[in-house]
Amino acid sequence: MFPRLLVCGLAVILVACGTPGAPQPPSLRLPKPVEDLRAVRQGDKVILTWTSPSVTTDDGGIRGAATARICRSLLAGERECRDKAADIPSLPGQKATFTDDLTPLLQSARQDFVSYNVEVLNDRGRSAGPSNAVTILLAPSMTAPQNVSAQLDRNGVTISWTGTEPPPAGALRAEYRYRVLRSVAGEASAETVVGEAPARAGSGSFTDRNFQWERRYAYRVAGVTRVLSRDGRVLGEFEGDPGARVVVNAHDSFPPAAPRDLQAVYSGVETQRSIDLTWTPNDDADLAGYHVYRREGAGNFARISSEAARTPSFRDTNVQPGRTYTYSVTAVDERGNESQSSQPASEGVPQ
């Protein structure tokens, strides 16, 4: 009886320790599909960007050389790669980019759009499928204007250019504009759209008034194609080739306009004599205040306001009976630039 029990015990131990788990299929080592493909058109080129996958569909690491296949399609919703644009190395987890030339498609004038996707292949040439698709509209691009220049004055920065004739209409309805963009020179800052104007041949200009003094700016003017639907909705837009930049040092050395309509009026009684001054307010955006000057007889003007007056008025209480005083006023901006003097105004103090 003991031998039989011993055998049964060994059988239980062997069953408990030796049972394997469920069999696993061999890994196909297929890179996960790209999910963040993006496309930007600039001129007659399209720039594709995406993140290369770093793992396979079964969450394993990518081994061996992987290849990114860029595919073009002229059919909506097509997933099969019938038109290969290029094969490029795929580095796991790295940002990837590819630039495609649209010139042959634009010259055909028969297509409204082209779609792209990216398929990442393993070292055996197999993939888990294409990425998300992106679509580019095939309207003609607007060339950058010529002779771009910048002129700084106290009213702002005026960007001028010589435009070219917009391209002829194609299969898609489009309108064309010139876009003025600004960035901070010497810094890795994003460009800001500061204005637009209809694209036409000949001279054009735009004045940027929304900037900060004492900064250095770079401006450029880009031709923009805006694709429209039949009912006028904007389907998409893109810039032409980037034009030349012009740099402006926005140093404010421009004084405000001189105050106008200065008037001087005597007021008061014997114990409180004064001359009240008023003038038309200055509308400069960076106005800091006003300086008031006075002279007596044929003497020189001397400033009598200890601080810049914040309002367009001033009361002079340091006056003497029987004397005549002549006044002038200047405007001062936030950087200390002082305007020309106003027209003088005179007033006498009674005996």
The burial of 334, by beta-carbon neighbours within 10 Å (0-12 exposed, 13-18 middle, 19 or more buried), is given as middle
Instruction: Judge whether 188 lies within some domain.
Output: yes
Same domain? 59 vs 96 = yes
Amino acid at 333: D
Instruction: Judge whether 57 lies within some domain.
Output: yes
pLDDT at 26: 65
Same domain? 216 vs 155 = yes
Where in the sequence is the domain holding 230, given as residue range(s)?
146-249
CA dist., res. 100 & res. 39, Å (int): 10
Instruction: Judge whether 25 lies within some domain.
Output: no
Q: Which of 329, 166, 144, 335 is nearest to 242 (CA)?
A: 144
Has residue 14 got a pLDDT over 60?
no
Instruction: Judge whether 9 lies within some domain.
Output: no
The dihedral formed by the CA atoms of 209, 213, 216 and 219, expressed in degrees to the nearest 10: 0
Domain limit, last residue, from 95, 111, 137: 137
Domain limit, last residue, from 137, 161, 187: 137
Same domain? 242 vs 311 = no
Same domain? 236 vs 291 = no
Q: Which of 210, 220, 180 is nearest to 196 (CA)?
A: 180
Same domain? 234 vs 216 = yes
Residues 116, 99: contact at Cβ < 8 Å?
no
**The tokens of 43 are what?**
């001129």
Predicted TM-score of the model (pTM)? 0.74
Greatest alpha-carbon pair distance for the chain in Å reads 147
Same domain? 210 vs 244 = yes
pLDDT at 331: 97
Instruction: Judge whether 106 lies within some domain.
Output: yes
Q: Which of 292, 337, 328, 335 is nearest to 310 (CA)?
A: 292
Has residue 256 got a pLDDT over 70?
yes
pLDDT in tens, 305-342: 999 999 999 999 999 999 999 999 999 999 999 999 99
Residues 326, 342: contact at Cβ < 8 Å?
no
Residue 201's domain is classified under what CATH number? Answer: 2.60.40.10
At 107, the pLDDT band (50, 70, 90 cuts) reads confident
Instruction: Judge whether 2 lies within some domain.
Output: no
CA dist., res. 122 & res. 111, Å (int): 33
Domain limit, last residue, from 137, 158, 177: 137
CA dist., res. 239 & res. 143, Å (int): 9
pLDDT at 302: 97
pLDDT at 100: 98
Same domain? 163 vs 239 = yes
Same domain? 270 vs 242 = no
Q: SS3 of 252, please? A: coil
Total count of domains within the chain: 3
Instruction: Judge whether 1 lies within some domain.
Output: no
Instruction: Judge whether 6 lies within some domain.
Output: no
Same domain? 215 vs 157 = yes
